[in-house]
A and B are shown apart, each in its own frame.
Chain A
Amino acid sequence: MAREVELTIGYNDRLSTVRRTIPDDEPPPWDATTTLRVVGKPVPRIDARAKVTGAAKYTRDITLPGMLYGVIVRSPYAAARIRAVDTSVAERMPGVRAVHVLDRSQVRFQGHEIAAVAAETLEQAEDAARAIRIDYEPGPFVVTLAQAMRPDAPVVMSGATPGGGGHVRAPTGIVRAALAWAAEGPAQHGNVFGPSDRSLFGKNRGDVDQALRTADAIVEQEFYTPVQTHSCLETHCAIAYWEQKDRLVVYCGAKSVTDARAELADHFGLPHSHVRVTNQLIGGHFGTKGSSLPYAAIAAHLARKAGRPVKIALSRKEEHLVGGNRPLNRMRARVAGTRDGVLTAIDMVNHGSAGAGFGAGASGPFFSIYDCGNVRVAEYDVLMNTGPGCAFRAPGHPQGAFALEVAIDMLCERLGQDPVEFRLRNSCGRTPWRADELRIGAERIGWKERRNPRAGAGTGPIKRGIGVANSVWYSVYNPGAQVEVQINKDGSVIAFTSTSAPGGGEGTVIAQAIAEELGLNVEHIEVRLANSDYPYSPAPGGSKLTGTVTPPARQAAYRAKQTLLRHAARKLGVPVETLTVQPGGRIVAQSGQTLEWREACALLPGGKTAAIGERPDDYSGPASVFPSLSMGHDLVAGVQFAEVTVDERIGRVTVERIVAVQDCGRVFNPLLAESQVQGGIINALSFGLFEERVIDELEGRMLNPDFLFYKLAGPREMPVIETVLLNVYHGQSNTDARNLGEPAKVATIAAIVNAIYNATGAWITELPITPARVLAALAARDQHTRA
Chain B
Amino acid sequence: MKREVTLQVNGEPYTIIVDTRETLLDALRYRLGFMGPKEGCGNGNCGSCTVTLNGAIVDSCLVFAVEADGAEVTTVEGLAVNGQLHPLQRAFIETGALQCGFCTPGFIMSAKALLERNPHPTEQEIRLALSGNLCRCTGYDKIVRAVMAASEALARAA
Interface set of A (CB-CB < 8 Å, partner B):
42, 44-45, 47-58, 60-61, 63, 121-123, 230-235, 281-284, 286, 313, 315-316, 502-505, 671-672, 674-676, 678-679, 681-683, 706-708, 712, 714-716, 718, 720-721
Contact = CB atoms under 8 A, between A and B. Distances in A.
A398 B157 CA distance: 46
Given A45-B96, A234-B100, A283-B100, A679 B137 contact: yes
B121 interface: no
10 contacts: A48-B92, A63-B30, A230-B136, A233-B40, A504-B99, A706-B45, A707-B41, A715-B126, A716-B128, A718-B127
B17 interface: no
B45 A714 contact: no
Nearest to A502: B100
Interface string B34-50: 11111111110110100
Contacts of A55: 36, 77
B80 interface: yes
Contact of B131 (A233, A675, A715): A715
Contacts of B99: 284, 503-505, 675-676, 679
Interface in B65-111: 75-77, 79-80, 85, 88-89, 92-94, 96, 98-105, 108
Nearest to A284: B100
A282 B43 contact: no
A715 B85 contact: no
A715 B38 CA distance: 19
Nearest to B45: A707
Contact of B76 (A53, A281, A502): A53
Nearest to A49: B93
A57 B33 CA distance: 12
Contact of B85 (A49, A56, A58): A49
A57 B35 contact: yes
A601 to B, nearest CB: 27
B144 interface: yes
Given A234-B40, A715-B140, A675 B102 contact: no
A284 B104 contact: no
A55 to B, nearest CB: 8
A230 B136 CA distance: 9
Contacts of B118: none
A126 to B, nearest CB: 10
B101 A281 contact: yes
A47 B128 CA distance: 28
Contacts of B151: none
A678 B142 contact: yes
A231 B46 CA distance: 11
Nearest to A677: B139
Contacts of A679: 99, 137-139
A714 B127 CA distance: 9
A672 B137 CA distance: 12
B134 interface: yes
B43 A706 contact: yes
Contacts of A54: 34-37, 75-77, 105
A49 B131 CA distance: 24
Contacts of A678: 138-139, 141-142
Contacts of A716: 127-128, 131
Contacts of B46: 233, 707
Interface centre among A55, A706, A707, by most chain B C-beta atoms within 10 angstroms, is A707
Contact of B140 (A235, A282, A718): A718
A47 B126 CA distance: 25
B58 interface: no
Contacts of B126: 715
A316 B139 contact: no
A42 B97 CA distance: 13
Nearest to A285: B100
Nearest to A56: B101
